[in-house]
Amino acid sequence: MKKKTRIAAIAIILVATIGLVAYAMLNLFVDPYVSVDEVVENPDAYMGRTIQVKGTLQPGSLTVTADNVTLVIEGDNRTITVLLLGEVPDMMDGQEIVAIGTLESASLIRATEILTSCPSKYEANSTATY
Q: Which pTM was predicted? A: 0.67
Proportion of the chain above pLDDT 70, given as a percent = 84
57 CB-near residues (< 8 Å, 6+ apart): 71, 72, 73, 74, 91, 92, 93, 94, 95, 97
If asked whether residues 16 and 41 sit together in one domain, one would say no
What CATH number should be reported for the domain holding residue 67? 2.40.50.140
Instruction: Tally the domains of the chain.
Output: 2
43 CB-near residues (< 8 Å, 6+ apart): 103, 105, 106
13: helix, strand or coil:
helix
Domain extent for 104: 33-122
If asked whether residues 111 and 96 sit together in one domain, one would say yes
**DSSP single-letter state for residue 49:** S
If asked whether residues 37 and 53 sit together in one domain, one would say yes
Q: Are 96 and 54 in contact (CB under 8 A)?
A: yes
If asked whether residues 26 and 38 sit together in one domain, one would say no
If asked whether residues 15 and 65 sit together in one domain, one would say no
Mean pLDDT of 112-122: 71
Greater pLDDT, 67 or 35: 35
- Of 19-28, 57-66, 105-114, the range with the lowest mean pLDDT is 19-28
